[in-house]
Amino acid sequence: MQEEEAIAAGIKQAVRRGESLEKAKQTFLNAGYSKELVERAARVASGEKPSLTSVPTRTPRTPTHTSSSVQPSVSPAPHNKLSPQPFREFKPLAKPIYEYRKPKRTGIITWIIAILIIILAFLVNGFLIWKFILK
C-alpha cells in the first residue's frame, strides 16, 4: 500500500510538471513496477476511488500513421527547465594558521642508500678476507 501511495505521489508530481498521465504511468512501468499497481496508483492520483476488484483497463492505441494528411496540432507542455548556475569559487576569509608541508624525503633516502653501501662494503670485504684465510 505504501508503494502505491509513493507511485501515486510520483504520478501527481509528473502531471503537475506538465507530463501526460500516460507518460507518467509508462515511466513507472519502465522502472519495473507492475501494471496493476501503476494503474491503481494512477486512479488514486487522478481522484478516482480504487475498487477492490479492479481490473486494469486497456486504452486502445491509435495508429502512429494516419491516412489523412491533417495532423492535430499539439502544443508542447511547458517545462520548467532549470538553468545551470555558474560555478563560484569561494575565497577563504583568512589564511590558515599553518600550511601543511610535505616532509622532505630526499634526506632520508640519501641516508638509507649510504647505510646500504656501507653494509655492502663490509660484506664484500668480509667475503674476500674469508677467502684469503681459507687459502
Model confidence over 10-52: pLDDT tens digits? 999 988 999 888 998 998 999 999 999 999 999 988 876 544 4
Predicted TM-score (pTM) of the model is 0.36
- Secondary structure class of 93 (helix, strand, coil): coil
d(CA 39, CA 58): 10
**2 grid coordinates:** 505504501
Task: Give tens-digit pLDDT for 73-94.
Answer: 555 555 555 666 677 777 767 7
Is residue 42 included in any domain, yes or no?
yes
Long-range contact list for 23-28, CB < 8 A, 24+ apart?
Answer: none
Q: Do the beta carbons of residue 24 and residue 44 sit within 8 Å?
A: no
Is residue 52 included in any domain, yes or no?
no
Q: Which of 40, 43, 42, 36 lies closest to 24 in space, CA to CA?
A: 42
Q: How many domains does the chain have?
A: 2
What are the residue ranges of helices labelled H in the chain? 2-16, 21-30, 35-46, 106-134
Is residue 69 included in any domain, yes or no?
no
Q: How confident is the model at residue 133 (pLDDT cuts 50, 70, 90)?
A: confident
**6 grid coordinates:** 509513493
Is residue 57 included in any domain, yes or no?
no
Is residue 123 included in any domain, yes or no?
yes
Q: How confident is the model at residue 3 (pLDDT cuts 50, 70, 90)?
A: confident
Task: Give tens-digit pLDDT for 110-127.
Answer: 999 999 999 999 999 988
Is residue 131 included in any domain, yes or no?
yes
d(CA 128, CA 92): 65
Is residue 63 included in any domain, yes or no?
no
Domain range for 129 is 103-135
Is residue 83 included in any domain, yes or no?
no
